[in-house]
Amino acid sequence: MDKIALVVGATGITGSNLSKELIAEGFTTFGLARNPQKDIENLFPIAANLLDTESLKAALESLSPTHVYFTTWMRNDTEAENIRVNSLMVRNLLDVLSAKKSVQHVALVTGLKHYLGPFEAYAKEGFLPQTPLREEQPRLDLENFYYAQEDEVYAAAKRDGFTWSVHRPHTVIGKAVGNLMNLGTTLAAYATICKETGRPFRFPGSSAQWNGISDVTDARILAKQLVWASTTDAAKNEAFNVVNGDYFRWSWLWNKIAAYFGVEAVGYDGSIHTLENEMANDAPIWKQIAEKYNLKEANLNRLASAWHTDLDLGRPIEVMTDMAKSRKLGFNEFQSTEDSFYDLFKQLRKEQLIP
């Protein structure tokens, strides 16, 4: 039987890398987004609004996917609204597909906020989980839209008989423009501005993040785990952490990134210096940089998500993620985190997004 994949959120960091992996693995792959991109070879774009069931019905009328990968979310002002909107997007999609009886597996990408809490309580005192983070840890007694999305998948799986997997990456490192959460590209843009203006490359986060152990998730590793879990019987109906497989301290990596861009590294100095404040007036500077070096994106806000980088680097806890569960079942992919950043920076330069 033909393997037909529907990637929901195909323009994001996760969705675009997943689309490439699926195509390489022989899937006929469709990418759904409000404004689908057309620069991935052999990806069939679908334009639809997940909050509009009529839009979804029309867009998916002639498509009967066997594998569905949900990689998107919508940010709202409160967690209650995050729950309402993001669970509705999952429910609408699975309801529309239900009548087709074609879906064999649904994979949902969430993240470590499953353990750390939503943005309002993000790893604050009183909600600090035991590390390394393990899939067996129970849900927090907090509102969390990840839990609501999971529950929609579980309910639809029970109704329609498909298998499922849930994937919990740490910060995802990879290229995307216009993405809500993009630490790697944010740091590349910040370092570029520092180099151009002569400013120091100042660490914006906490003592715990500067000195503690951390990890990240390369988008390519996440893509491989998504495909693996959706095609491996032993991995079905399970939730999995997914990170690169190595650990680092920002006190080490910050200096590596600074050296790559040729800027002066300044580490944690006893205070948090948020990137939102540090980059608050940098949009005109970026526009000048884009004009000077003939870059393709002059809008800093489409490259940098300072608010999200501040959340990651400002946490009062080190974050280590356990990968034993998927390793035991045969997922043994590994990626050097240092190389994840260098590969991203090279790609950004090649595509004229940084000078």
- Could you list the active site residues? 113, 146
In sequence order, what DSSP letters do the residues of 155-203 get, joined into one string?
HHHHHH--EEEEEEESSEE---SS-S--HHHHHHHHHHHHHHHT--EE-
Q: Check if the beta carbon of residue 345 is closer than 8 Å to that of residue 185.
A: no
Residues 6+ apart with CB under 8 A from 99: none
Rounded Cα distance, 187 and 201, in Å: 9
> Distance between CA 202 and CA 281 in Å, rounded?
16
Q: Are strands 265-266 and 213-214 parallel, antiparallel or unpaired?
A: unpaired
Distance CA 205, CA 127 (A): 19
Q: What are residue 271's phi and psi, to 5 degrees?
A: -135, 155
Alpha-carbon gap, residue 235 to 229, rounded angstroms: 5
- Encode 144-162: b = buried (16+ Cβ within 10 Å), e = exposed: bbbbbbbebbeebbeebeb
Token pair 């689309």 is at which residue? 19
HSE-CB for 264 with a 13 A CA cutoff: 6
CB-CB contact of 310 with 276 (8 Å): yes
